[in-house]
Amino acid sequence: MKDLNDILAMAQNVQAEMQKAQAALDTIEVEGAAGGGLVKIKATAKGRIITVDIDQSLLAPSEKQMLEDLVAAAINDARAKADAASNAEMSKMTAGMPLPPGFKLPF
């Protein structure tokens, strides 16, 4: 049963590493932008929004629709960058593990 014990030990190590990786994701910051930088969103790799920066020129009432579109675009850009950072961190953790193709962590 040594193999089963090895598998259980490996699973415990993976769980501990996953917890560390999840904690680290909240310290990695990404910035999404839209409108040539007129709207910027700073977020963590976990997807938590930290700041929203809107250029003064967009605060005119006539710019309301464009501002809303740019905020949504900047959030989506930040989310995409957060996902990329998260995937990069997770792939570092699973680099030496013999996982089947397409298998993703966390479960």
pLDDT of 53 reads 93
Whether the per-residue pLDDT at 105 is higher than 60: the answer is no
Q: How far apart are alpha carbons 31 and 20 in whole angstroms?
A: 23
Range of the domain at 89: 2-94
3-state secondary structure of 95: coil
Is 104 part of a structural domain of the chain? no
Q: Give tens-digit pLDDT for 22-54.
A: 788 888 899 999 999 999 999 988 888 999 999
Give the CATH number, domain containing residue 55: 3.30.1310.10
Is 102 part of a structural domain of the chain? no
Q: Give tens-digit pLDDT for 63-97.
A: 899 999 999 999 999 999 998 988 888 777 666 66
pLDDT of 91 reads 77
pLDDT of 34 reads 94
Per the structure, the count of domains in the chain is 1
